[in-house]
């Protein structure tokens, strides 16, 4: 148990020392992030002055030290704090779904630019981050979030209640549950790693985040092929297909889309200048 009456600053200093010894980058920032995120979930909004002016309550100090121990053991920061930022949203994060990544925000940006209104579906919604960001920032009549994992769908439902995003959640395998809906856009960040790439992932990802949201067959394209093929059946003429892909296979995915009958297949860069996204249109003639 933490020492009674310990100042917040002393707790943070001790935590930063432990995090540094565990190899965590920027340990002081992470210590403060853990403290503030836990405080926010408890209904408090701490400020930096607390580092020096406040005495930590025993319960808050115990929760903080337990969270720091989880981070020292290698658990991702977002899972430790239970919160992840994504565009304008603060979402719950835990092992039921992938942690939202900053580069995925670029996929939302592209969809808002190329299909800002109408009816849209996010396939493999996970935590709901893409669908909720689109609902929050777009002008959509309908936003669907489709997810096979019942556990991930529960997390998406929790995030829906935390945000202003009005989305309809459906349990289903990729686009099989869409039925006869006609959509203006289909967006997806499907699993896209090969089995070999999955085995080579950093333990901070491989040992904590759900495998089914990361790996997709021998060449990493099993789920992507299915989305490309099925999405043409549910999109309107000139409807948009927007995919996040592995940077090493972006051109290959664009070729797959063109070969499946999509037009204007183009590759787009993420914020790290990597080929991360593929956009395509359904032909007007179909």
CATH number of the domain bearing residue 168: 3.40.50.150
Residues 221 and 181 in one domain: yes
What confidence score (pLDDT) does residue 189 get?
97
pLDDT reading at 257 higher than 90: yes
Domain of residue 114, residue span = 101-281
* 99-114 confidence digits (pLDDT tens): 999 999 999 999 999 9
78 in any annotated domain: no
Do 51 and 191 fall into the same domain? no
Burial of 28 (0-12, 13-18, 19+ CB in 10 A): middle
Kindly report the pTM of this predicted structure.
Answer: 0.90
Higher pLDDT, 201 or 179: 201
Tell me: do 116 and 228 sit in the same domain.
yes
pLDDT of residue 107: 98
Asked whether residue 83 is domain-assigned, the answer is no
Asked whether residue 148 carries a pLDDT value surpassing 80, the answer given is yes
Does any domain span residue 50?
A: yes
pLDDT at 228 over 80: yes
User: Which range among 70-79, 164-173, 181-190, 206-215 shows the weakest confidence by mean pLDDT?
Assistant: 164-173
The total number of structural domains that make up the chain: 2
Q: Mean pLDDT highest for which of 41-45, 178-182, 215-219?
A: 215-219
12: how many CB neighbours lie within 10 A of its CB? 21
With b meaning 16 or more CB within 10 Å and e meaning fewer, what string describes 144-161? bbbbbbeebbebbeebbe
d(CA 9, CA 69): 18
Say if residue 32 is in the same domain as residue 130: no
| CA–CA distance, 248 with 134 (Å, rounded to integer) | 27
Q: Enumerate residues 6+ apart whose C-beta is below 8 A from 195.
A: 215, 217, 218
**Exposure string over 233-257, b if 16+ CB within 10 A, otherwise e:** ebbeeebbbbbbbbbebbebbbebb
pLDDT in tens, 185-200: 999 999 999 999 999 9
Whether residues 270 and 137 fall in one domain? yes
For residue 9, report the phi and psi dihedrals to the nearest 5 degrees.
Answer: -60, -40
């Amino acid at each position: 148990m933490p020492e009674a009456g310990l100042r917040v600053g002393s707790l943070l200093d001790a935590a930063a020392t432990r995090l540094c010894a565990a190899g965590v980058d920027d340990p002081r920032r992470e210590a403060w992030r853990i403290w503030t995120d836990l405080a926010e979930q408890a209904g408090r909004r701490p400020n930096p002055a607390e580092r020096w002016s406040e005495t930590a309550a025993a319960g808050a100090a115990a929760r903080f030290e337990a969270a720091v121990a989880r981070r020292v053991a290698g658990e991702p920061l977002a899972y430790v704090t239970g919160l992840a930022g994504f565009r304008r949203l603060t979402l719950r994060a835990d092992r039921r779904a992938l942690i939202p990544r900053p580069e995925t925000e670029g996929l939302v940006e592209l969809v808002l630019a190329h299909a800002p209104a109408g009816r849209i579906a996010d396939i493999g919604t996970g935590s709901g981050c893409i669908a909720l960001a689109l609902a929050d920032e777009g002008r959509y009549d309908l936003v669907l979030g489709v997810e096979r994992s019942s556990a991930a769908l529960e997390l998406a439902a929790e995030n829906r209640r935390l945000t202003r995003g009005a989305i309809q959640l459906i349990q289903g395998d990729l686009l099989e549950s869409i039925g006869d809906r006609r959509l203006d856009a289909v967006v997806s960040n499907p699993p896209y790693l090969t089995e070999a790439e999955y085995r080579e992932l950093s333990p901070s990802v491989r040992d904590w985040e759900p495998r089914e949201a990361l790996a997709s067959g021998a060449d990493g394209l099993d789920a992507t092929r299915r989305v490309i093929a099925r999405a043409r059946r549910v999109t309107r003429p000139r409807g948009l297909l927007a995919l996040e892909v592995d940077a090493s296979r972006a051109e290959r995915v664009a070729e797959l889309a063109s070969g499946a009958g999509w037009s204007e297949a183009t590759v787009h860069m993420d914020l790290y200048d990597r080929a991360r996204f593929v956009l395509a249109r359904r032909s007007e003639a179909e």
